[in-house]
Amino acid sequence: MGKIVRKTNSTTGGPVYVDVDIEANGGKGKIVRVYPMDLTDDDPKSWVLEARGKKYSPPRKTTYTAYTAGYKAMVHTNRRVLYPLKRIGFDVNGERNIDKRGEPMAAGDPLYPGYERISWDEAFDTVANEMMRIKREYGPAAIVAEPSSHHLWGNVGYRHSTLFRFMNFAGISYGDHNPDSWEGWHWGGTHSWGFTGGLGNPEQWDLFEDTMKNSTMIVFWSSDPETNNGIYSAYESTVRRQWMKELGIKMVFVDPYYNHSAVLYSDKWFSPKIGTDAALAAGIAYVWVTEGLYDKEYVANKVFGFEEFRDYLTGKGEDGVAKTAEWAEAETGIPAHDIRALAREWAKNKVQLAAGGLGGWGGACRGPTGMEWARMMIALAALQGLGKPGINMYSTTQGAPTDYYFYFPGYAEGGISGDADNTAAGLVLINRMFDGITSRHSSSNLNVPPGSFIPRFKIPECFMGDGKVEWRGKGFVGAAIEQQFHQYKYPADGYPRVQMYYKYGGPHIGTMGETNRYAKMYQSELMPMVVFQSIWFEGETPFGDIILPACTNFERWDISEFANCSGYIPGCFSQANHRMISLQMKCIEPEGESMSDYEIFHGLAKRLGIDGPFAEGKDELGWVKQLFHASDMPKIITWEEFLEKGYAVVPDNPNRPRTPAFRWFAEDREQDVPFQGQFRPGDTIQRKTLQTQSGKIELYSQSLARFDKALEEQGLGADETRPPLTQYIKPWTGWHYEDTGKYPLSVLSPHPRFSFHTMGDGKDAFMNDIKDHRVTVNGHDYWIVRINTKDANARGIKEGDVVKAYNDRGAVLLAAQLTERVPAGTVHSYESSAEYQPIGKPGESPDAGGCVNILSSSKFIGKHTSGLATEHFRVEIEKWEGGN
């Protein structure tokens, strides 16, 4: 071991100290260990909360997740792309052999079969020359970049920052992301209560204090904060939930899977049949309405459409069916006596409804009935007096009582891009980061509503089809409820078809829906060139024509705050027990010939002649320093001290205003939460109402009624997948429909526990050895499917057997785990495998990598949306005996 130096960095799973052997690898350095950060006596004091006669203060140490703990094995691994690669058979100026993309090939580089090593000069020249040729011959928007979510961390290096700055100056368009963790709240919830600035998720300010002081019960509904960590916040909120438990706050869990939070906290667990959550909610609401167990005064003043909702529940609505507990039992499989007991106990207590794990979100919102579930959750919260002390919609992850008024940007504020159309740069950062003379922001004239762009979820249809592809809503529709209804198409009028696909970041073949589509797409002649900018040789990377090797954020400079993304998650930082801002040090030199994303774009920018506008003569550390000075950081630490120490903790601010979410609404006051979470004044009436047309919580959504009217005027008919009245709609992947005979098992496929999307999985890293992540059979690491013991016995499947899960969309090979954590009929398998390993022809043979999203649907969550609904689907499972 050489000389060890302690450095700092940060990740999607928490900030860390990094001990580096700076003499190893010929002076390039090697990571020795990665570990959580203990605060010292020199750091500011932690907050203290008094509740029910006791004082609570958080541990003076950060937490991290397993994939962050194992980051070293993702940095130092033989799965890294170490130098630029060109696909054998690809000649940019001649025969491209497009149909050979992804074909298994023994020839070529021993580390990267099917590829040959090329120099950076050749790689840069090939890509930049082709970009210029395409622009000349086809016009703007013929090049599309499409990034993955969450593959690295840092305000400078994030996709909204460096990638957008490059795209905007280079004239490259975008593969838009749909809000794939928000879907039901976004497409449904916004119509009940607005919050477009949170994509339909509710505000969470100061609800930790509210819960500790006032609440007596929490209902966790499709909420697993111990698995998804809210987002980015590792186990910061765990200690706070433990305190709630100590206070005797009752905790009930509703989730098809007995999740990992239930393991620690549940008094009772309910597993509704897949997709029937809204029916369970209707059954609960029926008990309240018929037994008078709801907040009548609140409903009279704060809720619009209650009468229609009540009629729907009591059988006086269109369907004439009363949503009794017995009716709900028949739909959900949960006994009527339990539904009544839950409803009555709920009404007796001051309840925080933890719908989803962040305050909003939750796997149920990503399923085919996600919109109805989200709207029904809002209805339940409204009926009990949402916003009154102790009664709220709170997922126990945000709302820690840190200083909400210290300004440090999150990555969604665009970092160095300053792109106010496609990031939250306009919120604050653009005004503080760019003076317009010495440093300028960037903007796009392509990736804007009147320009040309494509939805990520429909990339295969766009590239492979020769007709038009149509969808509604551009990406994350955050500006207004009605913008969801705006229609777009590909190719946009006057714009060309895409000629170059520039895939940046991690793979998404494991994260989208019906993903054999993507494998097939790469073999389509309609996609003339594919460039991958990748850290690892994984997923669909081996479909690229040119592969540019990028490095991790341990190999370059950056700056970030623990769990702060800002943008559509206002106050995201309040998940962490301390506001911790890290200098992400360049801990080691990049592995092999890999480069930071910034340096790769810089290299291309030089050849494209846009080096000046792109870089402004700065390297990454120069941008880090500029961002430091654009924040409130100079108030607490000098740049020089920060460079030396590597982090700063924002001091507690015990005298700041306490503004619990929705309290202003419940008390008829102006919205008083921190400004990042406030509505646009023009969307409200005197700033005292929600964003809906009535300003109230709308159980009958007038925005949807207006949209239906417009559809009918166009002769398209009302949207039966998203009716104005909040109600249960039988799921098209549920037990009522869709091949239940052929495919009898319902799959729950949530975001994974031991990786963040694909970050953490595969890569020959440590996480593959986690028993509940992958299982090694005959030397191959299989992704896991969790099956009830009865279903397994009926199929002759034993623990650890390799099984084939299949439906009409494809087949995936998985390792069986036998469990009682799902009932018979329900199986569980996380999405987001990083590996795609077809055992035969790509797109047409079983995948041994574990991309269970091959089996999910590519149908939109609602007829007139562009959201995915991949959480639920149906399959049959059989023991795998080889063959296809």
Q: Which among 134-142, 330-338, 472-480, 538-546 is the span making contact with other proteins, rule CB under 8 A?
A: 330-338
Minimum CB distance to other proteins smaller for 702 or for 789:
789
Distance between first and last Cα of the chain: 49
Residue 579 in contact with residue 400, Cβ under 8 Å?
Answer: no
Active-site annotation holds for 298: no
Query: Judged by CB under 8 A, which of 22, 23, 28, 33 binds other proteins?
Result: 33
Among 7, 80, 323, 340, binds other proteins (CB under 8 A): 340
Strands (E) across 131-290 are located at 143-147, 173-176, 217-221, 250-254, 268-270
Bin 43: left if φ > 0, else alpha if -120 < ψ < 50, else beta. Answer: beta
- State which residue, 290 or 702, has the beta carbon closest to other proteins: 290
Within 46-105, the residues that bind other proteins by CB under 8 A are: 63-67, 69-70, 72-73, 76
- Position among 22, 23, 28, 36 found at the interface with other proteins (CB under 8 A): 36
- Measured distance CA(675)–CA(678) in Å, rounded: 5
Q: Which of 257, 411, 522, 782 is catalytic?
A: 411
Verify binding: residue 341, other proteins, rule CB under 8 A.
yes
Minimum distance from residue 63 beta carbon to other proteins (Å): 4
Give the pairing of strands 745-748 and 697-698: unpaired
Choices 91-99, 336-344, 394-402, 412-420; region in contact with other proteins by CB under 8 A: 336-344
Which of 736, 737, 704, 739 is CA-nearest to residue 721? 704
Q: Is there a catalytic annotation at residue 112?
A: no
The encoded tokens of residue 9 equal 């960095």
Is the preceding peptide bond at 731 cis, omega within 30 degrees of 0? Answer: no
- Name the minimum Å distance from CB 709 to other proteins: 44
Give whichever of 62 and 566 is closer to other proteins, judged by the CB atom: 62
Q: How far is the CB of 642 from other proteins (least distance, A)?
A: 19
Q: Which is nearer to other proteins, 260 or 841 (CB)?
A: 260
Task: Answer yes or no: 773 catalytic.
Answer: no
Quote the tokens at residue 799: 């623990």
293 binds other proteins (CB under 8 A): no
Sign of the C-alpha dihedral computed for residues 353, 359, 360 and 361 taken in this order: negative
For the chain, how many residues are written? 884
Contacts of 397 (CB under 8 A, 6+ apart): 204, 225, 229, 230, 233, 237, 357, 358, 359, 575
- The 3-class secondary structure across 542-574, one letter per residue, is HHCCEEEEECCCCCCCEEEECCCCECCECCHHH
Applying CB under 8 A, does 271 fall inside the site for other proteins? Answer: yes
Residue 66 structure tokens: 């397993």
Closer to other proteins at the Cβ: 54 or 742? Answer: 54
| 267 binds other proteins per the rule CB under 8 A | yes
User: In terms of CB distance, is 332 or 726 closer to other proteins?
Assistant: 332
Determine, following the binding rule CB under 8 A, whether residue 770 of this chain makes contact with other proteins: yes
Query: Can you say whether residue 307 is alpha, beta or left, with left for phi > 0 and alpha for psi between -120 and 50 degrees?
Result: alpha
Under the binding rule (CB under 8 A), the answer on residue 245 touching other proteins is: no
User: Which distant-in-sequence residues (6+ apart) come within 8 Å of 413 by Cβ?
Assistant: 155, 160, 423, 424, 425, 427, 428, 429, 566, 567
By CB under 8 A, residue 656 contacts other proteins: no
370-383 vs 277-291: helix crossing angle, rounded to 10: 20
Tally DSSP H helices, then E strands, for the chain.
Answer: 26, 31
Using rule CB under 8 A, residue 592 touches other proteins: no
d(CA 439, CA 429): 13
Can residue 273 be called a binding residue for other proteins (CB under 8 A)? Answer: no
Minimum CB distance to other proteins, residue 513 (Å)? 28
Considering the complex, what minimum distance in angstroms separates the CB of residue 325 from other proteins?
10
Among 769, 808, 844, 878, binds other proteins (CB under 8 A): 769
Looking at residue 621, the DSSP 8-state letter turns out to be: H
In angstroms, give the least distance from the CB of 623 to other proteins: 29
- What's the min distance (Å) between Cβ of 20 and other proteins? 10
Q: Is residue 854 involved in binding other proteins (CB under 8 A)?
A: no
Residue 2 or 108: which CB sits closer to other proteins? 2
Interface stretch with other proteins, choices 175-183, 265-273, 541-549, 587-595 (CB under 8 A): 265-273
Catalytic positions are 150, 180, 411
